[in-house]
Amino acid sequence: MSHPHTRLLRKTALVTGSTSGIGLGIATALAAAGHDLVLNGFGEAAAIEQLRGELAQLHGVKVRYSGADLSDPAATQAMMDEAIGACGAIDILVNNAGIQYVAPVDEFPVEKWDAIIAINLSAAFHTTRLALPGMKERGWGRVLNIASAHALVASPFKSAYVAAKHGIAGFTKTVALEVATQGITANALCPGYVWTPLVEKQVPDTAKARGLTERQVIDDVLLHAQPTKQFVTIEQVAAYAAFLCSDAAASITGAVMPIDGGWTAQ
């Protein structure tokens, strides 16, 4: 049982890459659970403002937005400082922002490698290191890293992404061990293929790399990986994430959990 004062404390969740896709789904689920939000991501200012207002009104929570570019450690630090200054602490940190690029290793653009490592791996280090002091002070915290089935297995032509996601798995376990006695958990959630803008965008590139049609990529590459022959849905990932951020999940830490239609069971 948590102390009454921690339970009554209004919790704040910061979700990176939360203006669309999985991140928006998770932010919505956390708002529905009564948490104040800090959104982060790219997009058109008016659309983001509308989204911010709708989430706040619908769920009766405070919703802030930061447009910080997470490939830049200084911008990431400024976002965290501002959010912690406004909210007192980030109680729930969801590292979800990610980019992808598909190419053979010997043709992989160096700047794409650097950007993927920066956004998919290093950004999670920077947000976590800055969020932990406040969590430790309050004796409660949740760090949830949205990894990928590619944190557990590899696919060809995705060297940077697979390296970053495997790195996230190791980083998550290390954080979990460091804070295990302090009421803070750290976990990695590993979705298989979810139909999001990130996946949609890589279909033509994968088609080109493998000499297939786009339909063949969806059926023979993406869904071929998943024994269910279904895409994982954003809502399923969001529900799992919201559970892991709850008090009921206090004993789940250092876990790297697939939600992948059976992909990594094969």
Nearest to 31, CA basis, from 9, 1, 57: 57
DSSP-derived secondary structure for 77-122:
HHHHHHHHHHHS--SEEEE---------GGG--HHHHHHHHIIIII
**C-alpha distances in Å from residue 69, one per residue of 28, 77, 176, 203:** 21, 10, 26, 25
The C-alpha atoms of residue 108 and residue 27 are separated, in whole angstroms, by 33
| Residue 254 CB burial class (10 angstroms; 0-12, 13-18, ≥19) | middle
Q: In the numeric block, which tokens belong to residue 119?
A: 């956004």
* Closest among 100, 118, 108, 130 to 38, alpha carbons compared: 130
CB of 108 closer than 8 Å to CB of 160: yes
Q: What angle do CA 108, 109, 113 make, to 5 degrees?
A: 85
Query: Which member of 65, 161, 193, 240 is catalytic?
Result: 161
* The two three-digit tokens of residue 126, written as one number: 């920077």
Whether 193 is catalytic is no
Give the chain's largest Cα–Cα span.
59
- Catalytic residue positions? 161
